[in-house]
Structure 1
Amino acid sequence: MAESMKGLRRTHRCTEISNGNIGQQVTVMGWVQKRRNLGSLIFVDLRDRSGLLQIVFDENDIGAAGFEKAGTLRSEFVIAVVGGVEKRSGATNPNLKTGDIEIRATELRILSEAQTPPFPVEDGINTKDELRLKYRYLDLRRPELQKNILMRSKACQVVRDFLSQEGFLEIETPMLTKSTPEGARDYLVPSRVHPGNFYALPQSPQLFKQLLMCSGFDRYFQLARCFRDEDLRADRQPEFTQIDMELSFVDVDDVIDVNERLLAKLFREVIGVEVPLPIPRMTWAEAMNRYGSDKPDTRFGMELVDVSEEVKGCGFGVFTGALEAGGTVRGINAKGQGAMPRKKIDALVDFAKGYGAKGLAYLAVQEDGSLKSSFAKFMTEDQLKALVEKMEGRPGDLLLFAADKTKLVWDVLGGLRLELAKQLGLLDKNVYKFLWITEFPQFEYSEEENRYVAMHHPFTMPMEEDLPLLETDPGKVRAKAYDITLNGTEIGGGSVRIFQEDVQERMFEALGFTKEAAYERFGFLLNAFQYGVPPHAGLAYGLDRLVMLMAKMDSIRDVIAFPKVKDASCLMTDAPNVVDEKQLDELALHIVEQEN
C-alpha cells in the first residue's frame, strides 16, 4: 500500500551524503535498485539521479512493523527513508561514491510500488533497443543515460553563461513559419483558420536570426528546436536542438575566435578536457585531397595520395581509363597490413563497391621487400617502384588504390580509411581532435534539378576575390563558409552572410531563381535588407552530436531524453498516429489512401 510523504522532506540526494555527515540524521528518497535479506538484517541499494546509497534495516532500530515492511521491498519501489549516517559495518565498495558509508534506517515509507520491469534497470544490459525505447521512462533511470542527460543539461548551462558574458542575447524565434523548400523536406502544419494553407516547422532559425541582425540586436543566440523530414541515421533525428548564433559587424576570424573560446570552456567545465587553441584550420580542397572527406577524422593518418602521374603511362587499363576520362588515381597506405588475408582484402573491395566503386586495386609490400599485387603484371618494375615510393610504402605495408571520377575516388578512399581505422582500433574516444574546414565550394551541381544549388544556403557570402566568377564559372566560386568538426563528425557550421542587395541578386541568378521567384520565397528578408543591414555572420552547432561525442556514445539517441527510431516514430507514445475525423474536418483535410 502506497503511503504519503506526510510532511517528510528530503534532506539529501543519495551521493550528497559523505563521511562528513556521519552521526547526522538524514532523509533520502528514491528507487530500490536491489534488496538483500540476510535474516536479521535487510540491505537495500537506494538509487536516485545522483547514484547509489546503501540502506540497512535492523529490527532493533526500525521496529518489527518497519522491518516487516522492508522485507516486502522489490526493485523499482519508490521509498522514503529516515535514518542515521554511519561508517559501513561491512566491506566498503571503492566503486561507489558512497561506498564507505550507509544509512541505518529508523523509518521507512513506501511511496509507490512497482511491477517487475521488462528489463533490469542497470548499465550493461543486453536489451533490444526497441524494448528500451518502448519503456524509455525505465531506460532513463539507468545511471549511464542519467549521466548523459545531466551532461547535456550542464553543457546547455555553460553555453548560456558563456554567450551571455560575451554580449549575446537569448531570443526565441517562431516555431510556426513559412515553408521555403530549399534543402531538406519540411514538416507541415495545417492551419484551421486559413483552410488549405500550411505552416512549416523550422529547419533552422536562419532567416529570423538574420532579421534580428537587421533589427540591431547585434549578437543573438538560442538553443533552438529544429525539424527536418529526412531519413534518420545514428547522428540524425527528425527533431533536434541547435546551439544557434548570429553576430553583426564581424568576419570569419571573429566568429571562429568566439567559438573556439566557447568550445574550450565547454570541454573544460563539462568533461575536464583542455582544448588546445587555436584549433587547426584546413580548406575544403585540402581536406578532400588529403582525407577524401569534408569532415576528416584526424586522430590517425592514412592520408590519400594522388598517384595519377606515377601510373599515367602504365599498362593497367583501370588506371589509364580513369585518367583518360578526366578522373584520378589515388591510394592509401595501411601501415603494417601487408600480410592481410585475401579474404579480408576482398571484403574491403566489397566495401568500396558499396560507395559506387567498380573495384579496388591493391599492392602488398612483403617483409622481404617483394611485391604482391592485383595489377603488378601490367606495370614495369620501375613503375611499381615509383608507385611504392610515392605511397611511402615500407615492408609490411598494404597499399590500396581507387581509380574513377575524382569525387567518387574521394568518397571511396575517405570511407575506406575510416573502415580500416575501425578494424585496426585507431579510433580512440578519449582523444578529441577538432578541425575547422573553410572555403567550401559556393555551389554544387544537382543532376536531378539540372542546376547549381547552394552547398550551404543561398545567403552565404562568396569569397570576395571569387565574385567575378559568379556568372562565368560558378563551379569555382568559394564560399566564406566554415564547419567545425570533431573526430570525423561535423558538429557545427556557418558562414558570413550576403548583406549587399546586388550580390544577393547575382547569387539568386546563379541558382536559377528569377527576382520574382526569389521574392516569393524570401521576400520578407529581402525587403528588410532595403532598410540598412549590417555585415553579419553566424554558426550553429548540433547540440545532440556534440554531447554524444563528449559522452563517448555512438548514437545521439543516448543523449536525448525521448528520441525517435529510424522511421521517425516514437515507440513509447505510438506517434505519429491517426486523428479524429472531427479534427480533420476542422482543418479542411481529407486523407486519401495510397495504393501500393
Structure 2
Amino acid sequence: MHRYRSHTCGALRKSDAGNIVRLSGWVHRVRDHGGVLFIDLRDHYGITQVVADPDSPCFNIAEMARGEWVLRIDGDVKPRSAETINANLPTGEIEVYARDIEVLSKADELPLPVFGEPDYPEDIRLKYRFLDLRRETLHSNIMQRTRIIAKMREEMNKIEFTEFSTPILTASSPEGARDFLVPSRIHPGQFYALPQAPQQYKQLIMMSGFDRYFQIAPCFRDEDPRADRLPGEFYQLDLEMSFVEQDEILETMEPVMRNVFEAFAGGKPVTQNFRRIAYDDAIRMYGSDKPDLRNPIVMQDVSEHFRGSGFGVFAGILDADPKHQVWAIPVKGAGSRKHCDRMNSWAQGEGQPGMGYIFWRELEGKFDAAGPIAKNIGEERTEALRQQLGLEIGDAVFFAAGDPKKFAAFAGSARQKAGEEAGLIDEDRFELCWIVDFPFYEWDEDNKRVEFAHNPFSMPQGGKEALDAATTEEQQLALKAYQYDLVCNGFEIASGGIRNHLPDTMVKAFEYAGLSKETVEERFGGLYRAFQYGAPPHGGMAAGVDRVVMLLVGAKNLREITMFPMNQQARDVLMGAPGEVGNEQLRELNLRINPIIKD
C-alpha cells in the first residue's frame, strides 16, 4: 500500500464498503459522541468521516488529535445507516473505522479558524494565508479560477490563436499608471520597468508576421488598491489580431467570453447577443461607461418640461448655459414619500443639496402627482413628463440638473441606488454589452491640455485626416477612437481597440498630447521603427481575468479569488514585502537611500 494514501478524502463511495483503505489529510474537526470519536479528515479533494471507538487500538492517538493536525489513517470502509447519511458530502454514505493512526504533523494553536469560516481581520488572514487557503470557500474559489483560465485557453485555441509569452523586464510605458521600476546592476543608474500591459510587445508580434496572439499575461501597476483591482499585479487575457477591423474583433471575442461565462454561471442566464452602446449614449442613458444593464432604468433628457417653468431652480440652471440639461431617472415602484425621502437622504450623503422628485399616486380615481416640483411646474407639464417617461401610479422620477459632464457620474450612481432601493436589479444573471466610440482625447485639468482618454496606441476614427482637421482643442476633444470596452453587471471586464499602425498618424496623435516626434521616437522606438517596415492593420483587447473570476464566483473582493494578495496598504504581510535591503545589495545596484524626512 502507498506510504500515505490509497484513496483521497473525496474518493470513497458506498461501493468501497468492505475495503481496507489508507487516507492522509488534515483534521477538519473532532466530535465526541458518547465516547466515540468522529474525525472529519480533509484534503484537497474532500472530507471523509473517520470513526474511532474506545475498542480501537488507535483510540488514544485519536483522542490527542486537534484541528489541522495532519494524520495518516488506515481503516475499514463501512456503509452508514440510513439515518446517518450526509447527503451534503460525496462521501456521505460511508465512514472509515480506524485501525491505525499516524501523526504526520502537529499544529500549534491556530491564529484563525479553518472550520466554519467566520469573518476575521484581513491582515491576520493574509499573514496566515496558507491557513486561510484551507478554508472551503477560498479554496474552492482558487480552484474555480484555474478552471476559468483553462477555459479561456481552450476557447482561444479553438479559434486558432497562438499563445506567446512577452518579456517581464521592459521599458517604461504610458499606460496611465505608475510603473514598478527595477534598477539595473549592469547598467548603473538605469532602470527596467515591469510591464503595465504587453501592449507594445503584442503589436510587435503582429509586426513580426504572427497573425493571432494571446497569453494570460501578468501586468504590474503601482497604483492605489480598490475593490475591483489589487495593488501590484493582476492578470489579463491579452490578445491581438492582424488584418482586422473593429467589428471582426468584437464578433471573434463575443462567443469566447459568452462561452466562458456560460461554463461557470451555474445556470444563471448569460446575454446571448451583446448590445453595442456608443460611449455618449451610455453616459446619457446610464450615467456610466460601465452600466449595469440588470438595472432597467434608462435616464432621459427632460429639459423642455422645465424651461421657463415655475420651478425656478431648474429653469434658472437651464437659462444660465445652453449646455445645461435636466435629466430624469424614472423608477418603477418607487412612488412613496418614504422611498423618495431615502433617495433624498442618500443624495445629501453624496455631498448634494438633495434630490428633486415627483411620485404618482391615485386620488379620486385619477393620477395625482406629489412633491414640491410637481406643484411648481403645474399639472400640464407634470402629465407631459409622466407620459414621456411611461410612468404609472406607484412610480417616481428623480432629477439631476446642470452641466451633464459634471453631474453624469452622480446621476449614474443615483440610477443604480434607485434600482437597488426599488428591487429592480436581477442579481441572478450576467448582462454583457460592448461600449464603443470612446473619446480619443480628454481634457487634463491639472496640466491644462489635451490628453489621451484611453489607450494612446488606438486609431482615431477618420485616421490622420481627422487629426489634421482637428485644429482646435474643441475639435480634438470631439474625436472618437476605435476603442471599446466589454462590460458585465457594472464592471469593465475587457478593453481594446484598433491600433494606430501608421507612423505619421502616430506622431500626429502624440503631438496633440504634448509629445514631439523626437520624444515618440525615443520613448516608443521599437514600435515606431517597426511601423517603418510594413505594419499590418491590427487590433485586439485584454480581458481582466481577476474581475471575470470575481463575477463568476460571486466574490465581493479580488482578495477572495487571488492566492497570495497584498493588503490595502500594498504590503505582502505573509512574505514581508516590500522590505529593506542591505547596503551591499544597494552598492551593487549603485543606489543610495535618501533619509525619510518626517514632518
TM-score grouping bracket, smaller chain normalisation = over 0.9
Equivalent residue number for residue 598 of structure 2: 595
Contact 1:494–1:539 (Cα < 8 Å) also in 2: yes
Contact 1:132–1:139 (Cα < 8 Å) also in 2: yes
Q: CA deviation at 1:377?
A: 4.8
Contact 2:460–2:466 (Cα < 8 Å) also in 1: no
Equivalent residue number for residue 564 of structure 2: 562
Q: Which moved more, 1:468-477 or 1:524-533?
A: 468-477
Q: Pick one of 428, 431, 452 that aligns with 1:430.
A: 428
Q: CA deviation at 1:149?
A: 0.3
Contact 1:471–1:510 (Cα < 8 Å) also in 2: no
Contact 1:470–1:477 (Cα < 8 Å) also in 2: no
Output the aligned Cα RMSD.
2.1
What is the rounded CA distance, in whole Å, between the counterparts of 2:581 and 2:372 in structure 1? 61
Q: CA deviation at 1:164?
A: 2.1
Q: Which moved more, 1:96-105 or 1:200-209?
A: 96-105
Q: CA deviation at 1:85?
A: 2.3
What is the rounded CA distance, in whole Å, between the counterparts of 1:366 and 1:466 in structure 2? 57
1:416 aligns with 2:411: no
Distance 1:581 1:469, change over 3 A: closer
What is the rounded CA distance, in whole Å, between the counterparts of 2:105 and 2:86 in structure 1? 28
Write the deviation string for residues 72-119 of structure 1: whole angstroms up to 9, x where unpaired. Answer: 111111112222322114611122222221122222211111122123
SS of 2:101's equivalent in the other structure is strand
Equivalent residue number for residue 261 of structure 1: 255
Equivalent residue number for residue 588 of structure 2: 586
1:43 aligns with 2:35: no
Equivalent residue number for residue 18 of structure 1: 13
1:113-512 alignment runs, 5 A limit:
113-238=106-231, 239-273=233-267, 275-323=270-318, 324-325=320-321, 326-341=323-338, 343-353=341-351, 357=352, 359-368=354-363, 369-464=367-462, 467-468=465-466, 471-472=469-470, 473-512=475-514
Contact 1:330–1:409 (Cα < 8 Å) also in 2: no
SS of 2:84's equivalent in the other structure is coil
Write the deviation string for residues 525-552 of structure 1: whole angstroms up to 9, x where unpaired. Answer: 0001111111111111111110000001
Q: CA deviation at 1:589?
A: 2.0
SS of 1:350's equivalent in the other structure is helix
Equivalent residue number for residue 68 of structure 1: 60
SS of 1:375's equivalent in the other structure is helix
What is the rounded CA distance, in whole Å, between the counterparts of 2:131 and 2:220 in structure 1? 26
Equivalent residue number for residue 534 of structure 1: 536
Write the deviation string for residues 128-153 of structure 1: whole angstroms up to 9, x where unpaired. Answer: 22322222111111110011000000
Letter of the aligned partner of 1:67 in structure 2?
A: F
1:77-96 alignment runs, 5 A limit:
77-89=69-81, 91-96=84-89
What is the rounded CA distance, in whole Å, between the counterparts of 1:185 and 1:517 in structure 2? 19
Q: CA deviation at 1:253?
A: 2.3
Q: CA deviation at 1:578?
A: 2.0
Aligned residues: 585
Letter of the aligned partner of 2:236 in structure 1?
A: Q
Contact 2:496–2:541 (Cα < 8 Å) also in 1: yes
- State the TM-score, normalized to the length of structure 1: 0.93
Letter of the aligned partner of 2:109 in structure 1?
A: T
What is the rounded CA distance, in whole Å, between the counterparts of 1:101 and 1:426 in structure 2? 46
Q: Which moved more, 1:358-367 or 1:308-317?
A: 358-367
Contact 2:239–2:540 (Cα < 8 Å) also in 1: yes
What is the rounded CA distance, in whole Å, between the counterparts of 1:265 and 1:383 in structure 2? 48
Letter of the aligned partner of 1:218 in structure 2?
A: D
- State the TM-score, normalized to the length of structure 2: 0.93
Letter of the aligned partner of 1:254 in structure 2?
A: E
Q: CA deviation at 1:123?
A: 4.4
What is the rounded CA distance, in whole Å, between the counterparts of 1:457 and 1:41 in structure 2? 66
Write the deviation string for residues 493-551 of structure 1: whole angstroms up to 9, x where unpaired. Answer: 10111112232222122323211111121111000111111111111111111000000
Write the deviation string for residues 444-495 of structure 1: whole angstroms up to 9, x where unpaired. Answer: 1111122222222121012238942554212222211111111111111101
Letter of the aligned partner of 1:550 in structure 2?
A: L
Write the deviation string for residues 317-346 of structure 1: whole angstroms up to 9, x where unpaired. Answer: 432333232221102122222224265233
What is the rounded CA distance, in whole Å, between the counterparts of 1:229 and 1:68 in structure 2? 54
SS of 1:531's equivalent in the other structure is coil
Equivalent residue number for residue 3 of structure 1: none
Q: Pick one of 30, 36, 53 that aligns with 2:48.
A: 53
Consecutive unaligned residues in structure 1, runs of 5 or more: 1-5
What is the rounded CA distance, in whole Å, between the counterparts of 1:76 and 1:125 in structure 2? 16
Contact 2:271–2:431 (Cα < 8 Å) also in 1: no
What is the rounded CA distance, in whole Å, between the counterparts of 1:594 and 1:314 in structure 2? 60
SS of 1:15's equivalent in the other structure is coil
Query: Percent of aligned positions with the same letter in both sequences?
Result: 39
Consecutive unaligned residues in structure 2, runs of 5 or more: none
What is the rounded CA distance, in whole Å, between the counterparts of 2:298 and 2:30 in structure 1? 55
Distance 1:271 1:396, change over 3 A: closer
